[in-house]
Homo-oligomer: A and B are copies of this chain.
Amino acid sequence: MAATADRAFHEVIEVGPLEILPEEHLARARGRALMLSIRELRLLTELARRADRIMAREELFRLVWGREMRPGDRSVDVYVRKLRVKLEEALPGWRFIHTHFGFGYRLAAEHEQNRHQRFTTD
């Protein structure tokens, strides 16, 4: 406590309608706390700290799991999935975690209606 006592507030990362408070082990959407496990929150945090940038699986794994990723390890993908489900549930219509094939994942808040694409009648 002594070392950080002078810091009155904790780190807050905002990504669109999402806010993440790593030191509080908390993420909020529209004021409501998300029910995330530790791993899920850490993954979201690391993605959010580099929002708009593509992060390789290996880098994410290193940051979240604290060790080197073994080839073929799918843990990152599985947790990305868990996060996506919970984020979709908390904020329907928003998309946050974007896959960049062959590279990794990128966090960015995108709302479905803001897209340029034209979805004409089916």
Contact = CB atoms under 8 A, between A and B. Distances in A.
Contacts of A37: 101-102
Contacts of A98: 33, 35
Interface residues of A, number: 28
A90 B100 CA distance: 17
A82 interface: no
A53 B23 CA distance: 11
Interface in A74-92: 89-90, 92
Given A106-B33, A108-B33, A117 B101 contact: no
A52 interface: yes
Contact of A52 (B33, B50, B100, B117): B33
